[in-house]
Structure 1
Amino acid sequence: MIESLQRLFQDMMAAGEAPEQGEPTLALATAVLLCEVARADYHLDDAELARLREVLDQRFALDASALDALLAQAREEVDTAVDHHRFVRRVRDHCDYAERYELVRLMWSLALVDGHKDPLEEHRIRRLAELLHVRHGDFVRARLAEEEDARR
């Protein structure tokens, strides 16, 4: 367990030193895609940032400093990357369908945490779901499930 975490951090740091040379880690790819959704409306509020931290912590069990580093790197990638296909490809190639569906559902939970379904966030999630090869029916099911959860 500790060795796998060390490998994850080494991969993450290697990607941070020279992102053009290596493929992103799964943690970084996931964080970038989630940041992309959170910032689709050109505003990242405290509720979205808190939900983003919570999701990444639950998925990757990172300590606070590693989580901060991951988020900083993900935000930088969102700002500077020409496109996000290498991040999508990493998730698509290393996650099964159920995991990709769950990621789309997490994108919806992030988009709805501020109590508002922004059309820009919806569009971004739709495009990412298509790129992740998540069926449209599952995209809709994820949205409806998260809208129901948000009403509770």
Structure 2
Amino acid sequence: MLGKLKDLLFSASEADARAADHDDVAVAAAAVMVETATLDGTFDEDERASILGLLQRRFQLSDADARELLAEAEAEQQDTNELYAFTRAIKDHFDHDQRVEMVEMLWEVVYADGVAHDFETNLMRRVCGLLYVEDAESGAARKRVLDRLGLSS
């Protein structure tokens, strides 16, 4: 009986830890997106809508949950300038293909306003290095975004 109770308690705490990890990585991903969007000095509605759509698709969130996650990410991003902590959470919880997908999502945020600012492209190079995504993979992700958005490279 005691063994079953221990199993139940430890299983529940492990599930809670996995859920917390999932929440942490979602906040980290959203915070990096917010950092990307705000780096050019503005955070307009197109960028906000892009991030909300990306969060809904990537993390299977409702509109309300995506908005809550975005608000939490904005608060986290404003409280710290520590990009490394956010990218480390992503690197530690995403496999390589998911990290490339994250880079593609970030390029979509960069181009949400139709233009890539120099600060944004510099951030993308740093983020790719921190996520262990090769330049060629980032370039291919960027091209896919440009094609999808109908923008010329």
Deviation at 1:60, TM superposition (A): 1.2
Amino acid at match of 2:69: L
Deviation at 1:24, TM superposition (A): 6.5
Deviation at 1:7, TM superposition (A): 4.9
Mapped to 2, the partners of 1:82 and 1:45 lie a distance apart of 20
| TM-score where L is the length of structure 2 | 0.80
Q: Deviations over 1:6-31 (max 9, x none)?
A: 959x738xxxxxxxxxx971111111
112-121 or 43-52, which moves further after superposition?
112-121
Q: If you compute each CA radius of gyration, which structure gives the higher value, 1 or 2? A: 2
Mapped to 1, the partners of 2:61 and 2:47 lie a distance apart of 18
* Residue ranges of structure 1 left out of the alignment (5+ in a row): 13-22
Quote the sequence identity (%): 27
Q: Normalized per residue, which structure has more helix?
A: 2
1:2-151 superposed matches below 5 A: 7=16, 11=20, 25-151=24-150
RMSD: 2.3
* Residue ranges of structure 2 left out of the alignment (5+ in a row): 1-11
Mapped to 1, the partners of 2:62 and 2:68 lie a distance apart of 10
129-138 or 79-88, which moves further after superposition?
79-88
| TM-score where L is the length of structure 1 | 0.81
In the alignment of these two chains, the number of paired residues is: 137
Check conservation: 1:24, 1:87, Cα contact below 8 A.
no
